[in-house]
């Protein structure tokens, strides 16, 4: 992580993490592809309706991973590698315990959750089936989310990429087996995903604690630290922005679904689900980049290398804005083709989804920059400001827009809401960067 990070090194180093995130996004989307094309619109809508509630719990792993990797990378920048490994071990153990504790309430409350999210009739049973299987697999899912951030911190991003490919192939193969061969429907899709998550969560547990681990970050689930509570608190506070952002994203998704059920019924929820799948692919590029640049920022901050911090900020701003503009162009040009991948069997749903993509994906222009700024403050160990940026962007700006714009612009206002939110968030994040530049000397 030491040395100068120019454009070439940033791009080259980001390839493994970006690939890892894209593959993970693809194999999460595979469930939707199989369910939409081989099970039906009702099951597809049920999957997308219940998923936000599951993601809110699973994102606890992301919170610990992102907040914890910042602590670990700063400690490594201070050249204290044994303590970095102890912090890492405490946080992974905490993630595993937390996952086990949350799985039981989810199982008990899945039906009330599905009904509260707007499921009706046949959708209720489908949503509960999918949700219960995912609740059982929650430990693997949360561990996988936590380990994503630590592969780059351990300077082994290629391992994360290879593991994500294995998980992706596992999920796709099991989807085909469980849905097409065994005829398990939505339950098969859930089972395939959770088996893949188990692979992604359990393998790093073994590797980081085994003799094969040749990195400077080691895992011991028996590690004891006098300040373990302080470490957990700091990691969770620091990663709060990612968790708040995820909660906000899923709350906004729930509100989109409620609005769309009102205006379009199941077709509206299905169209929004497709938007989210496409967004996962492009968003994976930004998240993968942040997994790459975050440890470098934390390392240089810990080493008090202010010149390199300024360079990382400047280069990252340019890269995220240029990448976002290119992605938006791709979506505008290929909107119908992207929609056909999921709903070629239904012309009315195809037309609705194509129009939604063309409006919604303009937001990619500023989305990456806004996500990066939130991650920037996380790696500087300022989780509060990071959380403010993330929380305001989604739960304030987008939530307000999704209810107000349809009243002003009609149904298209639902799809345009995210663009208004990203523009307002861009103004906020730019202001935060300017305001805090003297404190962090970037």
Q: Is the pLDDT of residue 214 over 80?
A: yes
Residues with Cβ within 8 Å of residue 29, at least 6 apart in sequence:
277, 280, 281
Residue 2 resides in a domain: no
Round to whole Å and give the CA distance between 146 and 94: 11
347 vs 90 pLDDT, higher one:
90
| Predicted local distance difference test score (pLDDT) of residue 83 | 93
Round to whole Å and give the CA distance between 115 and 109: 10
| Predicted local distance difference test score (pLDDT) of residue 423 | 97
Q: What is the dihedral of CA 389, 394, 396, 400, to 10 degrees?
A: 150
Round to whole Å and give the CA distance between 32 and 341: 11
Position 150 confidence tier, pLDDT thresholds 50, 70, 90: very high
Residue 180 resides in a domain: yes
Tally of structural domains, the chain: 1
Residue 137 resides in a domain: yes
Round to whole Å and give the CA distance between 312 and 306: 10
Q: Is the pLDDT of residue 291 over 80?
A: yes
Q: Is the pLDDT of residue 187 over 80?
A: yes
Report CA-CA distances (Å) from 26 to 5, 22, 135, 146: 29, 6, 21, 19
Q: Give the chain's mean pLDDT.
A: 89
Q: Is the pLDDT of residue 201 over 80?
A: yes
Give the range of the structural domain holding residue 327, as residue numbers without chain letter.
7-440
Q: Is the pLDDT of residue 324 over 90?
A: yes
Q: Is the pLDDT of residue 244 over 80?
A: no
Q: Is the pLDDT of residue 241 over 80?
A: no
Round to whole Å and give the CA distance between 369 and 286: 8
Residue 1 resides in a domain: no
Residue 179 resides in a domain: yes
Residue 240 resides in a domain: yes
The lowest-confidence range among 42-51, 129-138, 238-247 is 238-247
Residues with Cβ within 8 Å of residue 295, at least 6 apart in sequence:
1, 69, 73, 152, 153, 379
> Which pairs from 221-229 meet CB under 8 Å and 24+ separation?
221/89, 221/92, 221/93, 221/96, 223/86, 223/89, 223/90, 223/93, 225/86, 225/87, 225/90, 228/90
Residue 115 resides in a domain: yes
Mean pLDDT of 230-248: 83
Mean pLDDT of 55-67: 90
Round to whole Å and give the CA distance between 274 and 21: 18
Position 260 confidence tier, pLDDT thresholds 50, 70, 90: confident
Mean pLDDT of 20-34: 79
Q: Is the pLDDT of residue 135 over 80?
A: yes
């Amino acid at each position: 992580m030491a040395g100068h990070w120019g454009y070439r090194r940033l791009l080259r180093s980001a390839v493994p993490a970006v690939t890892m995130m894209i593959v993970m996004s693809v194999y999460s989307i595979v469930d939707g592809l199989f369910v939409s094309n081989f099970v039906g619109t009702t099951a597809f809508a049920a999957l997308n309706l219940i998923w936000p509630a599951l993601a809110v719990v699973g994102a606890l792993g992301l919170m610990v991973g992102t907040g914890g990797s910042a602590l670990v990378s700063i400690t490594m920048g201070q050249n204290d590698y044994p303590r970095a490994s102890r912090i890492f071990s405490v946080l992974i153990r905490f993630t595993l315990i937390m996952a086990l504790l949350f799985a039981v309430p989810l199982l008990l409350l899945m039906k009330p959750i599905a009904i509260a999210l707007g499921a009706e009739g046949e959708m209720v049973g489908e949503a509960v089936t999918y949700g219960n299987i995912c609740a059982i697999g929650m430990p693997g899912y949360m561990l996988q989310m936590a380990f994503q951030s630590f592969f780059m911190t351990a300077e082994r991003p290629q391992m994360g990429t290879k593991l994500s490919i294995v998980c992706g192939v596992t999920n796709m193969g099991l989807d085909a087996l469980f849905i097409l061969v065994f005829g398990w429907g939505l339950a098969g899709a859930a089972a395939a995903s959770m088996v893949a998550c188990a692979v992604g969560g359990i393998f790093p547990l073994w590797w980081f604690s085994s003799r094969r681990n040749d990195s400077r970050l080691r895992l011991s689930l028996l590690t004891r630290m006098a300040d373990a509570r302080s470490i957990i608190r700091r990691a969770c506070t620091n990663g709060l922005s990612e968790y708040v952002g995820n909660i906000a994203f899923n709350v906004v998704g729930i509100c989109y679904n409620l609005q769309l059920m009102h205006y379009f019924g199941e077709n509206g929820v299905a169209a929004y689900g497709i938007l989210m799948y496409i967004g996962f692919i492009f968003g994976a590029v930004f998240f993968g980049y942040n997994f790459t640049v975050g440890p470098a920022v934390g390392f240089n901050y810990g080493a008090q290398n202010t010149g390199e911090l300024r360079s990382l900020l400047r280069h990252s701003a340019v890269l995220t804005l240029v990448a976002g503009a290119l992605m938006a162009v791709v979506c505008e040009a290929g909107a119908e083709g992207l929609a056909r991948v999921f709903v070629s069997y239904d012309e009315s749903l195809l037309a609705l989804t194509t129009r939604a993509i063309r409006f919604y994906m303009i937001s990619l222009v500023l989305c990456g920059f806004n996500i990066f700024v939130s991650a920037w403050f996380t790696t500087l160990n300022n989780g509060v400001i990071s959380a403010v940026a993330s929380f305001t962007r989604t739960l304030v700006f987008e939530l307000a827009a999704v209810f107000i714009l349809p009243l002003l612009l009609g149904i298209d206002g639902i799809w345009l809401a995210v663009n208004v939110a990203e523009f307002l968030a861009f103004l906020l994040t730019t202001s935060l960067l300017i305001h805090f530049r003297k404190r962090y000397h970037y």
